[in-house]
Structure 1
Amino acid sequence: MYKHILVPVSFDAGYDHLDPFPIAKALAEPDARISLIHVLEEVPSYAISYMPDDFRAESREAIRNDLQERAADIPNAEVWVVDGHAGRTILDWAEEHGVDLIVMASHHPGLGDYLIGSTAARVVRHAQCAVHVMR
């Protein structure tokens, strides 16, 4: 059983059928913290000029609201929306906050994943804690 579980949430297509929360709840100690995190990747400079000025702030708020809805029935849940590169930021956040288990979904790899690797693969290779990957 784990005391602090991190559940990275991606809003990309391909993850809709995967629900990591039952697994996180099943592996949690009765008083465990479960942290839901979404990493906002940097928008390339060539694309940001075509977006409304308040795009990032509105995106952050919409994501936070969605995560809070998902966390509503999870005891001791926390919601985090952070900036950075998904793989590196998840690893850094887990280490800084004393996470002892990461439960995350992974899509079936595409060609790009074979060349540069997926977020889940990076987390599995470099995490300082246990990692449970759902596919």
Structure 2
Amino acid sequence: MPSDLQKAKQICFENGQNLTPIRETVLSILSQAGQPMSAYDILDKYRENSQSGAQPPTIYRALAFLEENGLIHRMASTRQFVICDHIGEHHSHDMTQFFICDQCGTVEESLVSPALWHEIHDQAENIGFLVKQPSLEIHGLCRNCR
């Protein structure tokens, strides 16, 4: 079974994109973290593992690229990033839901049912709204923190 990094490289290749060493390192940092990280946490980790004097714009550009290619997700409510649990398994038109534990910060990712996604899409269309980033963030307590 291919690793997340191998899948990411394949997706970038298929999209005519390049997974540069900086982008690859940022993706690896998120993959190894196993939990959401802020851009500045990623920058700190990047600087620990690299002799580079990388600045915030470098990390933000890498994060934007990874998000645009469906390799990571940005948690709007916490301003953190997390690696996609399903790299290469679904398309950008699917709606993702995130269950975010407010106590320990873990994030569980899954796809919204097609029926709910169609309902949301229809409601958006009825009011003339174009959905650009289809995701739901649901806060609460995970199984371990309950």
After TM superposition, the score normalised by the length of structure 1 is 0.28
Name the structure with the higher strand share. Answer: 1
Larger radius of gyration: 2
Question: Which one has more relative contact order, counting CA pairs under 8 Å at least 6 apart?
Answer: 1
